[in-house]
Chains A and B, each alone.
Chain A
């Protein structure tokens, strides 16, 4: 370890430790995790690169302000358990966030080392620790306080809130519409990016802490907020996530084999359609698959199509690669796996073939014009430039609207005009003082770390409100 006068000095020369990736051609054929994560050696080498900044910009970039220099220092000292405890002060889900956070816009995007060379691989280091949960010290549990809280939805926001509350001594029950827990982490994000075992470990951990899970429970239809209060719950945290897919609003959108990404991904991730007929749920194995969108959802869909055997798996986006909102790593991985990127196109119409299913999609070619409100250059159609792309599966991944159950849950919770729940930004409390809400159902489709952060804040506010501390 490079020490100068007893003080640590970062290794300024070594390049960023590359990801421990599986060969692209092999991994594109199955659902194995894309990379194996850092080995101890790699983690130690990478930790040497951190400058341990006095004013760490990386921390500002992290939405939950994890003490990044501190946990990296602990890695360097081989105090992995201590490093994990440091992260756990701010984030409950390091194994997950380390894998799925858009680090390039957050912690790593702000890292000082990124100015001259490449930022420290903060995400990989976090994942390295998150994958060794046995090293963390057992969290202290407050004595039972006799109060009951219901959590609606078991996505990252719900499970974080549940975990915090259980630790604070509450009796917590999570109600989940599906038959298993994790929300988007299990039905949306594919196995090759986030192994389901990682999510299950988090859920099991909560069960060990005494959190109860009621699966197959659609709150709103099976019980309303009022009924939950009648059953003795003292507070409710609503984290139902985003719902209803957004339409492209072009002709032919309802043709067979035109999917919304949610359906396409759920069939495979949750229902294991890739193992049909061993599992009963089928899906379509397209040879030519076109996915519309440029975010993480679109990337997950197109890479899933590749793994289901597509010869051409195409991502079609209105703008160019540079403007794609997906994580950079996903775009890089997708291209390495043979995904084709078709920039500057917008769908006009899905065309039916002889059998009535989609056989092609007509697209309008675009060019970049003046910047819009978001500062990105607006795509404008090039008159007359229309192309037809053959496809036997088409997938739209252009976002979601509000979950329709938000309004059915009831209470005196106010929704905004788009159907999202209105909640205090700091506390998560809704206009009904007994109900808190957070995650995608408040912010609209966002990120795992923000959903988690909202769950944590709400747990603190619920604790304060119910225990009067």
Chain B
């Protein structure tokens, strides 16, 4: 059992858990992830390591409620325990030299934040490009603002309800034109990653994407997380999750991510009906 030491709510749907896990904390690196199973009947789901302290023996992850498992997780309180937490898994993010742009969209912002934080802590200049459909869906703004100054935060919303209207590629293009960054890191919905990649390529700037296919074991045994990179099939859990974004087959990733849409809906519905019945 893995005790929740602290629960922090960032917004209606975004939470952070600090979990007691000394062995994981000692070996954690930015870009690696955990596999979490909340209870005996739970699914194994991956979350990026958002913070850790080897001396105090804890790790943190940030998650957004989007389906059954994340909704259920959000009901857990400090003092309660998660059944299983495995990690650290995956290859640590390679930290480049020079100034970086970190792009996050949607839930991707939760995953991008630890990378941005780590880059800042290791002495890099970091620009955060934060995208959301609309103002209410913009995550982690306070955390990014704490980390970076005004000049280094670029917010876009599709509907213009906050920040600049449009998508993340606009500020990215400006930064690239100004030669303000020499390396780009992106994580978020597939279209966002795809267009960020095309933009970075236009300026011959290396870009890394953190991919999030569906996973089962997270240890390279099952093959569920396979992604096509440079015409070769890779396993995101052991070869990634970071890959050279210019080589990723985005259509393949998107199709595999969506493979369980109807089951996911069914699962959430069953859960919500059950939760209502016992109130």
Contact = CB atoms under 8 A, between A and B. Distances in A.
B259 A357 contact: yes
A82 interface: no
Nearest to B2: A216
Nearest to B235: A244
B264 A221 contact: no
A178 interface: yes
B23 interface: yes
A222 B256 contact: no
B270 A277 contact: yes
A272 B42 CA distance: 10
Given A221-B88, A276-B267, A404 B223 contact: no
B263 A282 contact: yes
Contact of B220 (A222, A259, A403): A403
Interface residues of A, number: 40
A282 B41 contact: no
Interface of A: 177-179, 187, 215-218, 221-223, 243-245, 247, 253-257, 259-260, 262-263, 266-267, 271-272, 276-282, 356-357, 403-405
A458 to B, nearest CB: 23
A226 to B, nearest CB: 13
B226 interface: yes
B27 A223 contact: yes
Nearest to B39: A280
B37 to A, nearest CB: 6
Interface string B33-58: 00001000111100000000000000
B222 A263 contact: yes
Contact of B43 (A254, A257, A280, A404): A280
A373 B143 CA distance: 63
Give the secondary structure class of A's interface. loop
A280 B214 CA distance: 14
**Most B Cβ at <10 Å: residue of A187, A247, A266:** A266
A267 B23 contact: no
A266 B270 contact: no
Contacts of B24: 222
Given A256-B255, A263-B216, A281 B83 contact: no
A439 to B, nearest CB: 14
Contacts of B227: 254
Given A256-B255, A282-B260, A262 B233 contact: no
**Most B Cβ at <10 Å: residue of A178, A247, A278:** A178
B216 A282 contact: no
B61 to A, nearest CB: 15
Closest 10 CB pairs of A and B: A282-B263, A256-B259, A260-B223, A280-B43, A263-B222, A277-B270, A179-B84, A216-B86, A245-B223, A281-B43
Given A222-B88, A266-B221, A280-B267, A254 B256 contact: yes
A356 B255 contact: yes
A277 B87 contact: no
29 contacts: A177-B219, A179-B37, A187-B221, A217-B86, A221-B27, A222-B88, A223-B27, A245-B223, A253-B233, A254-B227, A255-B255, A256-B256, A259-B224, A262-B221, A263-B216, A263-B222, A267-B216, A271-B43, A272-B41, A276-B263, A277-B270, A279-B41, A279-B43, A280-B41, A280-B42, A280-B69, A282-B263, A357-B259, A403-B220
A244 B27 contact: no
Interface in B255-274: 255-256, 258-260, 263-264, 266-267, 270-271
